[in-house]
Structure 1
């Protein structure tokens, strides 16, 4: 089924406020390229789409601007920003720093059997997505896997930090799944992370998480070449050539 603003709205919780639901829908629509990089956004059209007033739409635009996903140009309008390679690399650095600490804690102290069962269930569901080529569902299960790890070691704030910084990163992750990174590779990497936690092997767990989160360094140069209109210039790779990023990813 083709993803639309309406289908994303249906996935939000009725108990949330209109403001929160609008923000979630618009954020996810930008990540999933329902709203394309460079596209102009109209307060009135968005408000009419969801039969709401323009005030919560305006507030959602402000939050999206703060997240680096839209740019509000006075007297000109609001636009979905193109993907900033530098912002992606900075977000990846922060995410790795936090999630390596999370997986280290999990391997050192262990995690509850119920959490391990949930992780294995997520792995099984991810493998089914590989078989059915369901990229959208895989993306959601990937999110659930990393969230479960953080919450499983009682690090809710760590996950909030990750969510706050990874908006630009998520756009590349979403683009890479069908176009660059094989799903099988990601499932194997998740499996290795869980195996290292179960074995209580801290070094192996850290290495497995680093390799997984550096996968985007391998895929992004290819995506920039294939979809140049979606990205801002080449500022990040001018500073650090693609081959050096790939070398970093396998070290």
Structure 2
């Protein structure tokens, strides 16, 4: 697995020997998820083509795929715009992701090899280093590596690609929320509890720890929407998300 620190140094270059459009899609997706391109921002085919040294056709193809992923909106005669963050879409993505990752965590208690637990411990240590240096973006790259390592440890080939696809809406909130809404120390502690539970082969504890970890976003989402209204759609969290937040954080949590 490529180290997250190495990934953080990868330059936004396109390999001319490989298919261009998928590369542009990947680079633009990453730029949108990390808020380099802000919600509501207009994207120019010409400017992006110039940025990556490609023609407008692969950029146009990447826009179509980003639209299908719910990350941009293509408006005829007006242009292509980064979709604003929808609390409903984020909450729905989290709902589906919880079902998969709780299953991953509980299954890991039975099948995860020792080397996977060692790697998870290493990633927590690297997160602590990133937090100590206040490197939020590197911290989140190690966070992603943690979840990927755990998903791969259960040897379900479709688990991580599914999680990676569904969590794009959540990732934008994660980049927006650090450090004020979700302190890095809290997320590190939650990762450590997940690993301890798996090491003890306690499936109930592991599932509960993962569930709490993934519900953290529900506690911060409404506050972020109020603090950054220009980045959010004017919508509300669905009933299932409000109930999950209330059950986890108390009845005063997650107002609509």
Deviation (angstroms), 1:163: 1.6
- Match of 2:97? 95
Q: Quick check: 1:129 aligned with 2:130? A: yes
Matches within 5 A, 1:151-170: 151-170=152-171
List alignment gaps of at least 5 residues for structure 2.
1-7, 251-256
Contact 1:110–1:198 (CA under 8 A) maintained in structure 2? no
Please provide the CA RMSD for this pair.
Answer: 2.0
- State the TM-score, normalizing by the size of structure 2: 0.88
| Mapped contact 2:14–2:52 kept (Cα < 8 A) | no
Number of corresponding residues: 242
| Partner Cα distance (1:96, 1:13) in 2 | 34
Matches within 5 A, 1:224-243: 224-236=225-237
Which residue pairs with 1:26 in the alignment?
28
Structure 1 stretches of at least 4 aligned residues deviating more than 3 Å after TM superposition: 11-17, 239-242
1:136-166: CA deviation from partner (whole Å, max 9, x where unpaired): 0011111100010010110220111112222
| Normalised TM-score (structure 1) | 0.90
Q: 1:73-131: CA deviations, max 9, x gaps?
A: 01111111100111000000000000000011011x14111111111110100011111
Q: CA deviation at 1:12?
A: 6.5
Q: Is the contact between residue 38 and residue 82 of structure 2 (CA under 8 Å) also seen in structure 1?
A: yes
Q: 1:160 to 1:241 in 2, by over 3 A?
A: closer
TM-superposed deviation, 1:23: 0.9
Distance 1:231 1:240, change over 3 A: farther
Look up the SS of the partner of 2:26 in the other structure: helix
Greater helix content: 1
Deviation, 1:179, is: 3.2
* 1-structure distance, mates of 2:248, 2:31: 29
Mean CA deviation greater in 13-22 or 126-135: 13-22
- Asked whether 1:250 is paired with 2:252, we answer no
User: Secondary structure in 2 aligned to 1:71?
Assistant: strand
